[in-house]
């Protein structure tokens, strides 16, 4: 058991072609003010030379850059960051975040909870007002509706609410349950880790210590990422041994299993194949419906499952 007054925290930032110079300088302000905060480790996942040079310029005694010459994926770069870290607790944050307050206040807010749980999620925040660019409305609306939740709400189903966007994990836990590096493309690597934590009997505590999500993708880019995530989810559903437990951590899978019970999945797959283009045009407009987006995701997943079950391969959509 770690003695809390002697433990150290490593801040780990995986990044690919994104400017984190301001973020790192802000976070460095907390060093010295919070003795437990010992280092920042940046994981450059195959970025261009322009961005790689920016990351290298941030190196100091307590700021280190590790890099991969090629893009190895979100899971693998996080595993490498954990191996390089010196801290007893690993604080993972995404590169496209903004602090709503000071770095010192953000780091200090974690400390009282480190003796209460070995995995702690801080939460995700979005700006109250819509982005000025209408091409980013879908990502903002979805984030406000699905991702920005108070800790009290997330703690009702803690493993389902697990996210690596802003999470503190005890090093000894991460050394046993790492990210699955077979997941090369975007999507649901944190879902799998949440499932693995549940299977291992490791509790997750959610607190209100959110970071602002700044890097909003365009509507079209978000739809493409959604497709990759749904593809990964279909693959994972076949891979996990306890499908019931896995479904409990993914709301979409709960709905899918109900639809399957009533024999409706093929109907939704047929609707998706016929109306996919129309749905995407509507979702890439100024008149965006989150109900339509939810149906779009569900019907896409049904399509993947139907083809996968029949051919035992993942389709290319």
pLDDT of 55-108, one tens digit each?
999 999 999 999 999 988 888 999 999 999 999 999 999 999 999 999 999 999
User: In this structure, are 206 and 230 located in the same domain?
Assistant: no
**CA 227 – CA 213 distance, rounded (Å):** 21
User: In this structure, are 238 and 174 located in the same domain?
Assistant: no
Residue 90 CB burial class (10 angstroms; 0-12, 13-18, ≥19): buried
**CA 169 – CA 4 distance, rounded (Å):** 14
**CA 189 – CA 185 distance, rounded (Å):** 9
User: In this structure, are 276 and 203 located in the same domain?
Assistant: no
Structural domain range at position 304: 223-311
User: In this structure, are 173 and 202 located in the same domain?
Assistant: yes
Longest dimension (CA), the chain: 60
pTM: 0.91
Q: What is the pLDDT of residue 316?
A: 44
User: In this structure, are 208 and 304 located in the same domain?
Assistant: no
User: In this structure, are 33 and 69 located in the same domain?
Assistant: yes
**CA 153 – CA 274 distance, rounded (Å):** 37
- In this predicted structure, the answer to whether residue 166 has a pLDDT above a threshold of 50 is yes
**CA 309 – CA 252 distance, rounded (Å):** 18
């Amino acid at each position: 058991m770690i003695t809390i007054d002697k433990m150290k925290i490593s801040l780990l930032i995986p990044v690919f072609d994104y400017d984190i110079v301001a973020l790192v300088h802000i976070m460095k302000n907390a060093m010295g003010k919070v003795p437990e905060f010992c280092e920042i480790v940046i994981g450059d996942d195959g970025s261009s030379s322009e961005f790689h040079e920016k990351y290298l310029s941030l190196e100091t005694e307590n700021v280190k850059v590790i890099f991969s010459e090629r893009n190895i994926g979100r899971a693998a770069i996080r595993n490498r960051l954990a191996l390089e870290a010196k801290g007893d607790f690993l604080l993972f944050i995404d590169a496209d975040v903004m602090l709503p307050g000071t770095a010192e206040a953000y780091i200090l807010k974690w400390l009282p909870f480190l003796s209460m749980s070995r995995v702690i999620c801080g939460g995700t925040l979005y700006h109250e007002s819509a982005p000025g660019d209408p091409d980013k409305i879908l990502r903002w609306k979805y984030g406000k509706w699905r991702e920005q939740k108070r800790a009290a709400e997330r703690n009702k189903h803690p493993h389902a609410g697990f996210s690596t966007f802003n999470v503190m994990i005890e090093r000894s836990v991460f050394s046993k349950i790492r990210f699955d590096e077979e997941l090369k493309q975007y999507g649901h690597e944190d879902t799998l880790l949440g499932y693995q934590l549940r299977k291992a009997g490791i509790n997750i505590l959610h607190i209100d210590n959110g970071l602002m999500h700044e890097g909003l993708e365009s509507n079209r880019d978000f739809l493409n990422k959604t497709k990759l995530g749904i593809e990964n989810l279909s693959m994972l559903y076949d891979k996990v041994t306890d499908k019931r437990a896995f479904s409990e951590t993914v709301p979409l899978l709960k709905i899918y299993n109900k639809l399957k019970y009533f024999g409706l999945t093929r109907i939704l797959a047929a609707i998706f194949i016929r109306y996919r283009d129309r749905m995407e045009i509507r979702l890439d407009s100024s008149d965006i419906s989150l109900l339509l987006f939810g149906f779009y995701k569900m019907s896409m997943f049904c399509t993947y499952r139907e083809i996968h079950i029949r051919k035992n391969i993942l389709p290319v959509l």
